[in-house]
Amino acid sequence: MRDCLDFYIDGAWVQPTPGSRRLDVVNPATEQVSGQVALGTAGDAVRAVEAAARAFPAWAATPLAERLDILAKVTALYESRLDEIARAISLEMGAPLERLAKPAQARAGLGHFKTALSLAKTYAFERRQGTTLVVKEPVGVASLITPWNWPLNQIACKVAPALAAGCAMVLKPSEFAPYSARILAEIIHEAGVPAGVFNMVFGDGAEIGPALSSHPLVDMVSLTGSNAAGSSVMREGAATIKKVSLELGGKSANIICDSADFKKAMGHAVKAMMGNTGQSCNAPSRLFVPAHRLEEAENQAAELCARIRVGDPLDPETVMGPIANARQFDKVRRMIRIGMEEGARLVCGGPERPEGLDRGYFVRPTVFSRVTDAMTIMREEIFGPVLAMRGYTDLDDAVAGANDCVYGLSGYVYAGDLDEARAVARRLRTGMVHLNGALSHPGGPFGGIRQSGVGREWGEAGFEEFLESKTLFGSEAKEQADA
């Protein structure tokens, strides 16, 4: 049993305030309780915010070289505990240990620390424009609210740049994935991050989220989560005009051009959708294929899904683990049933557990075809291994269908050459596009438009979210500038 019953506030592990509750943490592969997590109150959130506010001035004034020395220690300690972090992620949210938790989930977090460290070493914190000096300064106290689907990836892409920029922060990780966050807090403590610069409280977002979003000492809120949570953050922060960065939902379209290597493109489409059991905000959940190849696409999708081994995350042969929690498990199966009721063709999968898996939140890799753009499974984010596919008459039809969506997080284009892929990508109303199977890169901006969010994470763009510009007019005498 693992327990996360205390919070990290002002450089120490402290007990929750009276009135806190406890939540069982359930292993999604077995449905057995693996530990407990304390759910803090608004009072705990306020304690953490106040600690961050006290620590901010000194940390912001700390020379960059000293901040980066500490960040380098955090990065090294993270790397030394990589296997432990991967095991924690696998236990708390079900990612297959050898095929996902180690090589992708845990390493993604490490990548963000390395990226922030590298960027901050060369970033121009002062830039001259004639006689004007533009200075980049830390935004202040940041509330960081993160989800359960890529726990350390989402935490690290906020914590790493915030530390490098000189911000103080309060992290509220998902209560469904507390173990990996606890390890990171231990790492930050061991690395010597000054007391109060990093604080962590667990809790129900509906209960403590408003305190973290509305407190007058909080300067910025960075949230990765649902659209409902994003709306709440914007409302709660509005009274004090906070800076807000939101990475929200997605319903990303994947367009396979007629010129593409079709077998290769379909292999990528299924693999990218079913990876992480479909629990990725940028998953390519809507697939557009040439209408005359729809039957071929259906056959290939069924064959590819049949090869996906679903099961125990600790089995090195497992490709797809369980849905991360019971609430999401119920939602995914309900959405599959809705797809069937609305008349989409079920190519493979379905709402039942895979054969031989009677316990655990396991779902079959599911593919629907002959869908319309009006169907629920083409419009609402499912966040599970469910692919919806339709044929298109020409690229204008495909692009129109792809853009017929309230979201705009990511997109995918597979074509015979990069020129064609780029041309189609430029027509998509989305924050990112993957060309011909390209993976995400920690140096590139990650984020979306419309109801997929505000702002960007990752790389220099993510780093700058934690900075503000101060303009010093006349910082250089005119005669000096003219010399």
Q: How many domains does the chain have?
A: 2
463 falls within a domain? no
**332 and 410 assigned to the same domain:** yes
Q: Where do we find the tokens 């989800």?
A: 147
Q: Is residue 221 within a helix (H) or strand (E), and if so which, with residue range? A: strand 220-224
**329 and 227 assigned to the same domain:** no
Q: Which among 248, 278, 300 is the end of a domain?
A: 248
Are the beta carbons of 192 and 70 closer than 8 angstroms? yes
472 falls within a domain? no
**329 and 298 assigned to the same domain:** yes
**164 and 221 assigned to the same domain:** yes
Copy the structure tokens of residue 35.
Answer: 């530990």
CATH code at position 135: 3.40.605.10
Cα 225-228-231 angle, rounded to 5 deg: 100
Judged against a pLDDT cut of 90, whether residue 362 lies above it is answered with: yes
Q: Which among 435, 460, 476 is the end of a domain?
A: 435
Catalytic residues: 247
Q: Which among 435, 456, 477 is the end of a domain?
A: 435
Residue 371 pLDDT grade (very low, low, confident, very high; cuts 50, 70, 90): very high
**274 and 205 assigned to the same domain:** no
Q: What is the three-class DSSP state of 287?
A: strand
DSSP 139: -
Copy the structure tokens of residue 166.
Answer: 């000189």
452 falls within a domain? no
Instruction: Give the pLDDT mean for 242-263.
Output: 97
CATH code at position 295: 3.40.309.10
Copy the structure tokens of residue 111.
Answer: 């990548």
Residue 76 contacts by C-beta under 8 Å, 6 or more apart in sequence?
none
- The CA distance from 371 to 394, in Å, is 17
**280 and 297 assigned to the same domain:** yes
pLDDT digits (tens, 9 = 90+) for 449-461: 999 999 999 999 9
The string of DSSP codes covering 311-380 is S-TTSTT--B---SSHHHHHHHHHHHHHHHHTT-EEEE--SSPPTT--SSS----EEEES--TTSHHHHS
**45 and 102 assigned to the same domain:** yes
181 falls within a domain? yes
- Residue-level pLDDT at 2: 87
**214 and 166 assigned to the same domain:** yes
Are the beta carbons of 437 and 260 closer than 8 angstroms? no
83 falls within a domain? yes
Judged against a pLDDT cut of 80, whether residue 481 lies above it is answered with: no
* Structural domain span for residue 417: 253-435
**261 and 237 assigned to the same domain:** no
pLDDT digits (tens, 9 = 90+) for 291-318: 999 999 999 999 999 999 999 999 999 9
Q: How far, CA to CA in Å, does 403 sit from each of 266, 408, 429? A: 21, 8, 6
Question: Could you tell me what percent of the chain has a pLDDT over 90?
Answer: 97
Mean pLDDT of the chain: 96
pLDDT digits (tens, 9 = 90+) for 33-70: 999 999 999 999 999 999 999 999 999 999 999 999 99
Judged against a pLDDT cut of 50, whether residue 166 lies above it is answered with: yes
Residue 475 pLDDT grade (very low, low, confident, very high; cuts 50, 70, 90): confident
- Residue-level pLDDT at 19: 86
**342 and 203 assigned to the same domain:** no
Residue 139 pLDDT grade (very low, low, confident, very high; cuts 50, 70, 90): very high
- The CA distance from 346 to 335, in Å, is 13
Instruction: Give the pLDDT mean for 173-185.
Output: 98
Q: Exposure pattern of 117-149 as b/e (b: 16+ CB <10 Å)?
A: bebbeebeeeeeeebebeebebbbbbbbbbbbb
**148 and 197 assigned to the same domain:** yes
210 falls within a domain? yes
133 falls within a domain? yes
**65 and 190 assigned to the same domain:** yes
355 falls within a domain? yes
- The CA distance from 368 to 358, in Å, is 24
Partners of 41 in beta bridges: none
Residues in the chain: 483
